[in-house]
Structure 1
Amino acid sequence: MKAYFGMKNPPVKITKIAIGDGSITSGQVFELLPAVTNLSVIQTYPQIIGYDQEVYKYFKAQSKLCHYDVNLTYPQNGVIPPVPLVLPSQRDVPFLLENSVSYRGFVTKVSQKHSLQERTVEKHKREQNLAVWKRDFLTGRRLDALDPWYGCLLLDMFIDYAINYTYPWSLSQDSDTFGFDVYDVTDATNPQINQDASVFLNDPRVRSALHAPKSKSWAQNFDFVFGNPDGNNVDPSTEPMNFFTELATNATSRGVGVILYSGNNDALIAHRSTEIAIQNTTFGGIQGFTVKPSTPWYNDARKFAGIIRQERNWTYVLFDGAGHLVPGDRPQSAFTFLREFVLGNNQTGAVVKNAKGQVVVVGGTNATLATDILPGSDEIYYGAGTKASTYVFPQATRAAWKSFIRTETATSSVPTKRP
């Protein structure tokens, strides 16, 4: 895009840039902070901690100690400062130390560990991790101090909690495969459903239809392709957040729209990080959105598809019921989104001025959606390589949680039910 913006007469005209589940910010912001900042992932899916109120309070305290409690305002009040990364003090994380620039080395390793293609975990490492845990999770854990085994790696902490303590993820406790899908919290199948498209894409008939070379095969994952400058196959570039305002300024001057979207079930690159990126970027001369995302949008079946906000040629879309792979999880909503907001010019969620000069939102706003949390579904799916069964916690457990979270988060008005 930098080359494109530098051309007086580019050979093509770009009208929009769309980024889905983007790792735009630093690693600790796009992966670790959303795990428990405002308890984003845990509040969306409290099933992860078995709706345990005391465990919630513990994670909330850890989040604050890690400086993950970033406050977003609309419009944003000042630049959001960088969030530090605090490593475990009780163990070494060698690949982190090898990359002193940022958290990218760790993110690469975690992404590989949690990849859709390969989820196996060496058994002796699993047993070593399990030995660290006490059956009573809160015994000896202080609210005013970081856990020395995890530091601020809180995503890893709540995944370990789920696998050790929470059904149905606990079914994989003695398994050689990884039983927590960071790309879709609702999927507790183990082994995971095979979503490797290379079987289809490498079919000779598909190759011919796509005019793909027969000398190369499709691969789901690959290392950094521009050399290996640090020995870890990690992109040495700075995180996009560091040049996002420059990108936005150029995009505004050229009339190029920017679309950022996230799936609500994604725990690895959760939507909170995208919202932070937007509020920390200046576009159209103003930092961030001036009106909080709270407008519902609907797919062609007129079913609630999520939340949208459009302002000064920037669009943010949160998909309800979708994980990291939005089109695979919600194909009908993804199709509507592509047609209406990427290829089309649907103004739902746009902040505009009416004939009287008043600022209004096309499609209105919904107070239930004007929060940091879009509650997830009650159902968690599990099975061996297929979604064979569904688990829903008892109604009394869910009701007690709703009452608790309503009081616990009264100042932020987190909803307790889905729209």
Structure 2
Amino acid sequence: MTLTEPVAAAAPLLDGPALWPAQAHLPTVLGRQVVIARGEGSYVMTTDGRRLFDGTAGLWHANVGHAHPVLAEAARRQMLTLETYHIFARFVNDQALALGERLAAIAPIARPKVILNSGGSDAIDVACKLARRHWQLAGRPDKTIILSREFSYHGLHAYGTSIAGLDMNREGYGTDSLVPETARVPLHDADQVAKVIAEHGAERIAAIVTEPIQGTGGVNPPHDGYLTELQELCRQHDILFVLDEVITGFGRTGQMFAAQRYGLDPDLITFAKGVTSGYAPLGGVLVAPRVWEAFYRDSPDTPVFRHGATYAGHATACAVALAHLDLLEAERLVPRVAELEGRLRTELDALAARQPGVAEVRVAGFLGGVALVDEIAATDVADDLIELGFVSRPLRGNTLQLSPPFITTDAELAAFVAAVDQAVSARLARG
């Protein structure tokens, strides 16, 4: 095929709904879509009458379950008062102000400032730009490179695409990186990270971005001490340390932030998903004084950081976030996650011990990954689980995702793992 020939020119065009599905290989999706029409607690219901246990909490976000009346009422009440107003320049809305104070009070960063936007990809974009802007203002213009880990996922905006450690998300755009000056470091080896820093030159590196626990990359918990070593390398070489807590923030690890679980003191934390349990699109960045102080000097020469979007600090989204944080406290859901982690570990260890189709299990917080043997495809098992009444997702490394809502009962969790066992056994029996 020459470069001028259209891709798959001889193949027939597929018909289907007008909506273009996200992250989808369309020939294997169209005609088989599962249409979700309703949610209730840890379950979702399809238009064809099926009731499915939501074993992934949507895309890692439905922590308090679906259709919670408290959050629905918070949104309704706020929309009837003020749906939103922007937070540009002199203007701000009261809900955005209140959420900023609330987040600052629970943040694992001392005296943080809070940048609000619409989601995790937005937050990564802002954090990477802010890291580079920080060094420009510090008179170190060569510090522009952003490092990230292999198998990492940081959303799909231009910067998230550029720092992706999953090659499939970065390829196909005519260049190795949509935003120049990015590079990957090994998954768990701090000594190799030090070598990458030496190869590029610490004087050229602005930041290292990492998920505390990788999600889409296969549910990869950090090896003991790795994140601390990574932070120490950043301090040693004057590199900003950025934690992507879009998945782990707001309770998923058994503490409010994974930074607290692992004893970390990052310069920037990105967040989204769990801040509202997905009830409204909201994300942001927690910024340490080291970074924000240059923009807060009382001087006519003080620079402006050009961040902001129409829906940044959206009043209804902020009201929902505030109600959600109240809910986490009132129902003691973060301590419940710590209990669920132990239960999940017990269930998955037992699964790995008895099930020859399971190669490895990984658990950190209420995040589980079940890596299958090569003879069985995680995509097939995920399809089979739907037929059994459970939702999982295939991740990198032939891995199944298990990350149910925080309201999951012990019995529901056991049933979910039992369904995985059943589906894997059935695939093994087919040969």
TM-score in terms of structure 2 length? 0.28
TM-score in terms of structure 1 length? 0.28
- Compare the two structures and name the one with the higher helix fraction: 2
- Compare the two structures and name the one with the higher strand fraction: 2
